Amino acid sequence: MRRLSVPPGWRRKWVIRLTNVSLGRVEEAESWDLLRSLAQHPILPWVCIGDFNHLLSVNDKWGGVEYPTRWLNGFRDCIMDCHLSKPQLVGSEFTWERGRGADSFVMERLDRAFMNSNWTQLFPLFWLFNLVSSTSDHNPFLFVYKTSFPSRRMKRFKFEMHGFLRMVSILWWSSA
């Protein structure tokens, strides 16, 4: 089992972990244990983005053979144990596809991002855009964040035209 060690001075840092979880039961358990290990450092802001190769819900799949409910449990339990949240996904809800144009066409949401509460406090404006790829069966993500809202209020748009009422009056009475 792999453990994450947090370096000295970690209070001033944050972590992004990119992942690709294999479907083997041993590697899968190690991946879930690694996430649980990272979650044991609750002060460290972190996000994990990548191909988890698992669904959280049967609704994360369209087409093909039904996804076994028992496979959902390990992944879902890990996410719940770690108290992770998901950012808003902008774009298609499915991130992987196979067999486009065929009767066996399948789409699934395999790629995801999860973050702890300290990450959401550090980056309250966090979006994950699901882009389109013509060269891969997985869609790329665009990871966008801001640390705060703009400090100045934007001025409301105001159209001004000097002499507008005079022009309307002239046009109004000239057409009568």
Yes or no: say if 58 and 67 are a contact pair by the CB < 8 Å rule.
Answer: yes
Phi, psi of 175 (to 5 degrees): -90, -5
* Higher local confidence (pLDDT), 65 or 6: 65
**Domain count of the chain?**
1
Residue 29 pLDDT = 73
Domain contains 1 = no
Instruction: Quote the CA–CA distance of 140 and 148 in Å, as a whole number.
Output: 26
Q: Return the minimum-mean-pLDDT range out of 87-91, 139-143, 166-170.
A: 166-170
Quote the percentage of the chain above a pLDDT of 70: 74
| Of 33, 38, 69, residue with least CA distance to 54 | 69
Domain contains 5 = no
Quote the percentage of the chain above a pLDDT of 90: 14
Residues in the chain: 176
Domain contains 43 = yes
Domain contains 2 = no
Domain contains 102 = yes
Residue 93 pLDDT = 92
The range of the structural domain enclosing residue 152 comes to 10-174
Is the pTM above the cut of 0.85? no
Residue 165 pLDDT = 77
Residue 3 pLDDT = 43
Domain contains 97 = yes
Instruction: Quote the CA–CA distance of 165 and 130 in Å, as a whole number.
Output: 49
Domain contains 167 = yes
Residue 173 pLDDT = 81
